[in-house]
Amino acid sequence: MIEIYVFFPDPLTVGKIAELAKKIDPQIICHKIIDVRQLFLTHKGSNCVLITSPDLYNQHIKGQDIQRFFQSYILPDDNETQRSKENIHFINQKLLITQLRSVLNQYIKEVYDLSPYIPIALDQFEEKIRYPCDLYLKLSAKKYIKVLKEQTSFHKETLEKLAKKGITSLYVKNENYQYLKEFLFTRASEIKISPKQVHLGAIESLHKLIVDIGFNEKIIQQAESLQHHIEKKITSKYMQNLFKTFKKTEGSFLYNHTYLTAIIALNACDYFDWMTPAIKEKIYLATILHDLGYQNTDNALRELLSKKEIQTLPFEQKNDIFEHTNNFSRHLAQVDKIDQDIIKIVRDHHGVYGEDAYPREIQSNDINLVFALFVLSHEFTLILFKTNFNLNQIESSLESLEKKFNNGKYKNILKEFKESILRIKKINKAIA
């Protein structure tokens, strides 16, 4: 099994590379990473490749414990003077797709065809299990010694000793690799991990990220109780299904993006004298619904493309992106007693980007304070993802936000919104 981890602050690059990897070999398991914490949480098998930028590599991977989990690195870079060495491949950014294809093909070939021995992560092995083939320890590029004879099992102490020595993988002969892989896979699928457990991991890491950024834990509790409250209050089948759909997206970019937008909006709410519990509830509900119109949640990664770029996508993707607002808002409008501000946020949240607006461009005098607060929170979430949650860039991020949204109702709330964000930075500094 080959696992690829694609880690870039820009979700678009992550999506583009993940798509390419799937086309190269359907056996490849691709993990899309947009926050370094996800890297630490996902379980690493053997043959892991990390595709990331040289900056992120130097900042988060090099010299860190996590480095040992990856057999190979691919770093797209403009600086062509960099030479690939050992397991680090620099590729030309401008030829990203072509070069990535050839480097990955080469890697797969090496793993499956050429190597006499193939690594399997040590943590895949347990005591008291009889393994179907011999297992080896790698001493050097050409030297391997047997550590387990076929049909025998490990003692607990042996596995502990190997781990203590910093051994991360054992090796199996190439001809036995597929067989052992099947054996491990069958055993692993017998151990039941409920989807709920997987979700919990993703949600916990998101909550941790939110607190690490500097948000008060009370905001997370507020979001939880609002979610609970609206699920009890709005009982229509259509809406109940939407709440379930929202939960199902846990762990995806769409969920993280939506949830963080809600947290940023709730965090700002207390700064406005026009705020009431009912308005707060409305903003929260609009936020969790705003991107649920996607048929394919992965397309949410592409909603930041310019209109021109979206036009060039295959029909199905293009259609899904352009219609996630309009179509969905029409369905929502059928819901009994639904607030018009919610419909507007769902329909027009891409209407604020001038020539990139869809389904229609809306002017700043055509919006109210609730809509303005959603737009600023949504935009700031996108900035946080783009800057990989780098708080040192908060001031410049706020400046660019101000340049974009400085008139009409935006102007009325910008000062307080900025204050609410700067307070997070202060808290974060105090923690650090």
- CA 166 to CA 182: how far, in whole Å? 26
Query: Six-digit token pair at 329?
Result: 């808002």
Beta bridge partners of 173: 117
Residue 347 contacts by C-beta under 8 Å, 6 or more apart in sequence? Answer: 325, 326, 329, 359
| Buried-exposed string 238-256: b where 16+ CB fall within 10 A, e elsewhere | ebeebbeebeebbbbbbbb
Q: Which of 3, 291, 320, 348 binds Fe ion (CB under 5 A)?
A: 291
Which of 72, 180, 175, 173 lies closest to 125 in space, CA to CA? 180
Nearer to Fe ion, 120 or 346 (CB): 346
The region, left, alpha or beta by phi > 0 then psi within -120 to 50, assigned to residue 149 is: beta
Residue 273 has, within 13 A of its CA and on its CB side, a CA count of 1
Number of residues that bind Fe ion (CB under 5 A): 2
Asked whether position 320 contacts Fe ion by CB under 5 A, the answer is: no
Q: Can you tell me whether residue 144 is helix, strand or coil? A: strand
**Min. distance of Cβ 358 from Fe ion in angstroms?**
10
Which of 96, 108, 91 lies closest to 18 in space, CA to CA? 96
- C-beta of residue 22 within 8 angstroms of C-beta of residue 104: no
Nearer to Fe ion, 57 or 246 (CB): 246
**Could you tell me how far CA 423 lies from the centroid of its own chain?**
26
Which one-letter DSSP state was computed for residue 43? P
Nearer to Fe ion, 34 or 120 (CB): 34
Where are any strands of DSSP class E within 96-246? 117-121, 135-138, 144-148, 169-173
Determine the interface stretch with Fe ion among 210-218, 229-237, 290-298, 412-420 (rule: CB under 5 A): 290-298
**Min. distance of Cβ 321 from Fe ion in angstroms?**
8
Residue 345 has, within 13 A of its CA and on its CB side, a CA count of 29
Nearer to Fe ion, 134 or 291 (CB): 291
Query: CA quadruple 259, 260, 263, 265: dihedral positive or negative?
Result: negative
**Max CA pair span of the chain:** 76
Q: Which residue has the tokens 């919006």?
A: 367
**Min. distance of Cβ 275 from Fe ion in angstroms?**
22
**Min. distance of Cβ 373 from Fe ion in angstroms?**
15
Determine the interface stretch with Fe ion among 198-206, 269-277, 288-296, 385-393 (rule: CB under 5 A): 288-296
- C-beta of residue 420 within 8 angstroms of C-beta of residue 214: no
- CA 116 to CA 177: how far, in whole Å? 10
**Min. distance of Cβ 223 from Fe ion in angstroms?**
16
Task: Report the residue closest to Fe ion, judged by CB.
Answer: 291
Nearer to Fe ion, 184 or 292 (CB): 292
Nearer to Fe ion, 147 or 313 (CB): 313
**Min. distance of Cβ 319 from Fe ion in angstroms?**
14
Nearer to Fe ion, 22 or 247 (CB): 247
- CA 122 to CA 137: how far, in whole Å? 10
**Min. distance of Cβ 332 from Fe ion in angstroms?**
14
Beta bridge partners of 72: 49
Nearer to Fe ion, 137 or 345 (CB): 345
Nearer to Fe ion, 44 or 347 (CB): 347
Nearer to Fe ion, 36 or 254 (CB): 254
**Min. distance of Cβ 240 from Fe ion in angstroms?**
22
Binders of Fe ion among residues 293 to 312 (CB under 5 A) are: 303
**Min. distance of Cβ 259 from Fe ion in angstroms?**
11
**Min. distance of Cβ 132 from Fe ion in angstroms?**
49
Contact footprint for Fe ion (CB under 5 A) = 291, 303
